[in-house]
Structure 1
Amino acid sequence: MKRLLTWLLLCSLSPLAQAFDLQQLSDQLARPDVIHGQFIQEKHLRALPQPLVSKGRFVLAKNQGLLWLLQTPLQQDYRITAKGIARRDGSTWQILPNKSAGAQQNRLFLAVLQGDSSGLQRDFELNLSGEPQQWRLTLTPRSALLKQVFNQINIDGGQLVQRIELLEAQGDSTVLLMRESTSTQPLSEAEQHDLAE
């Protein structure tokens, strides 16, 4: 009887032991060396009836950074690395000021895509639900400064991040849909050059 009770107790605890946690999510998102994909960004502004939509492609390289290549409604290339954010100006990259809310958002975005949960935990309360193939990570700001910018950030994914929703404090929101993401293609020579500058 004692053995049966022990077995039942272990069975009831086993789902807890198997729960998908932040470390597993970080490991999963950090696994690919390079991710290529398409994105659609919808900016929902309270003052406009329709969202502002932009489209493009992205390249994320582990330990190197992110190329964010906007294609419509205008063409503009951005590079986000640990050194900061740069915009392509002709054949060179111009470093942008690091003080803006947009810079904070881009650093946050890089941390999310790279699975840097320790970096995120400094600034946000993290709540993860789901399983490796279908999960949601909810970020709630800790600091008064971030609370002035965001109410909440929701990130959905499977093997890779698929959707990011930024709910801003003043009522606007941004939805990023990451499409056709693949981790099987290496960096091209041009991409290596852009990330190495």
Structure 2
Amino acid sequence: MTRLRHTLLAMLLVALPPLAHAFDLQQLSEQLAKPTVIHGGFVQEKHLRALPQPLTSKGKFVLAKDFGLLWLLDTPLKQDYRITAAGIARREDDEDGGWQMIPNKSAGAEQNRLFLAVLQGDSSGLQRDFELQLSGDAQAWKLTLVPRSLMLAQVFKQINIDGGELVQRIELLETQGDSTLLKMLDSTAKQPLSDAERTDFAQ
């Protein structure tokens, strides 16, 4: 009987998927870092305690592994942002249409820096500032970020990120009760950078 138990146990162990192959942060980082360029649309909802309805903005984005992120607002106003390792720049409204660097110390700047780290799959960068908890698999995963540092904890209570092959949804819960929900729409990694996009990153 003991031998039969051992045989059955061995058969079960062979049949069960090995726990060592569970989806982990390293695999998620590699998955998100794989595309060279991602194009897509977004809807951003800013939920403020003082307002009954969220403030909604819509636009397009271009994420390029070797350059950074173009964040192109269409509504409620047209405004283009470029987020790179060098900082955040805004496209000027003049005829030249050049880019102007903006201060990096605002809450909005910190939020955009987080977006770039998340979309690029920079888990090592995120781990410096947050405790990371990952669940799910490569096709449907959820990543929860809880701030480590006091500075971030004063702004963010928690950040929830959902995705599959690419990031699909980012929710930022602030300590004061406000929140931001960002939905990534129609993301594709099959379209290369256009000449105009290359110029925007190069300026």
The aligned amino acid for 2:60 is: R
The amino acid across from 2:102 in the alignment is: L
Which residue in the other structure is 1:22 paired with? 25
Flag structure 2 segments of 5+ consecutive residues without an equivalent.
none
Q: Within 5 Å, which residues of 2 pair with 1:150-189?
A: 150-189=156-195
Give, as a single letter, the amino acid of the residue that structure 1 aligns with 2:85: A
Could you list the per-position Cα deviations for residues 37-89 of structure 1 after superposition, in whole angstroms to 9, with x for gaps in the alignment?
Answer: 00000000000000000000000000210000000000000000000000000
How many residues matched?
196
Rounded Cα–Cα distance in structure 2 between residues aligned with 1:148 and 1:83 = 25
Aligned match of 1:95: 101
Q: Which residue identity lines up with residue 19 of structure 2 in the other structure?
A: L
What letter matches 1:129 in structure 2?
S
Q: What does the per-residue CA deviation read over 1:153-197, in whole Å, with 9 as the maximum and x for residues that have no partner?
A: 000001000000000010000000000101000000000000112
Larger radius of gyration: 2
Instruction: Give the superposed CA RMSD.
Output: 1.3
Which residue of 1 is the match for residue 74 of structure 2?
71
Structure 2 match to 1:45 = 48
Instruction: Tell me which of 110, 122, 142 is aligned to 1:104.
Output: 110
Specify the code of the residue in structure 2 equivalent to 1:88: R
1:9 deviates by: 4.2
Give the match for residue 85 of structure 1: 88
Q: TM-score, normalised by structure 1?
A: 0.95
In 2, Cα distance between equivalents of 1:136 and 1:8? 29
Per-residue CA distance 1:92-135 (angstroms, 9 max, x = gap): 10001111121111111100000000000000000000111111
Residue-by-residue CA offset, 1:5-43 (whole Å, 9 max, x unaligned):
44544555x341221110111011001000000000000
Gaps of 5+ in 1: none
Instruction: Tell me the SS of whatever aligns to 1:165.
Output: strand
Q: 2 CA distance for matches of 1:81 and 1:3?
A: 57
